[in-house]
Structure 1
């Protein structure tokens, strides 16, 4: 692995993704303890958190194989990601589920886009680190059941999901400004063609819309 040629920004991409997985693990574990209404629900969200931690370990080991200190690679992104979690603290179980499924999902889609044209080993690593493999399906089932039981919660959760995405985009801009290599990676991956970059954002929007629809929520503007 350490012999693979590394494009500019690869360490930054792996660092931000590793810290995203670590904080995802910590926040989901906390939300499972604070909000889960049953032990079964607590176990389900804890299982998703454990997957996040496994992905973090995978990324950390890869960074070490490249001769990079994982803590040093993650450090530039601590403030932005911590701020996102601080500004998007769920107030109840349903908000925690929407954040775990839709909020984290759009961020992981972005990392996947950034890795599209990297060397195959790194791209496969990123794909593995952001893979869901149906583990979050329980979140969809719980949210849809709650909406069926009380349709009024749909509007509140749709607004919450839009807030999650808005905050994620805001923090993403901060990261791009602080680490130009990540922004350059997206340009390199999609070329200077503005139409191709527009298609990238269309893919992100489409994927988010599908998640919202799966939850039984309207994507909104």
Structure 2
């Protein structure tokens, strides 16, 4: 009898310990694929690419590979810059992130080039269980300058999201930018390392309240980047 009770308590502890772990269907696989190039479109070989998934209850923005997260798939690009990864579809995730040229436990970062990530990926982005990211461009960080963004809010609106589109180092791209963010405590990044001589698109989402209704609006502006640091003030 004592042995049976001991086995029962061990089983309960084991099940409790698994509550915080990600769960997978086991019979369904997802395919992520794409191509990594330099700023001129030439393929980059050996660039690490990985997929991280966080458990339900954690914000889809922005990803940080710490506790309650899983690296579920990883690879490096081939001679043509191509990558392809299969992973089992999880059952309790609310954020999937694709990390490009970030060091992980299996592959080092190519420090010559920038890194980027695609955050807030959701199952609805898939077509036949596949998502093709197509060409993703990285740039040599030696050819970089800084972009600083200041917010001048004169209209009483709140910033819900802010994203940059272009050649940006350590960029966190919200793949579903137009969807409203549930968490109202959004902190935007103020300084970026960007490639010289390009035009960056600044996308931002605002939130305001009218007659107890929440109004969400999406906007974008173009920011020209030369060879010198840029200080840009966003007024809205």
Q: TM-score, normalised by structure 2?
A: 0.27
More strand by share: 2
Q: TM-score, normalised by structure 1?
A: 0.28
Higher RCO, 1 or 2 (CA under 8 Å, sep at least 6)? 1
More helix by share: 1
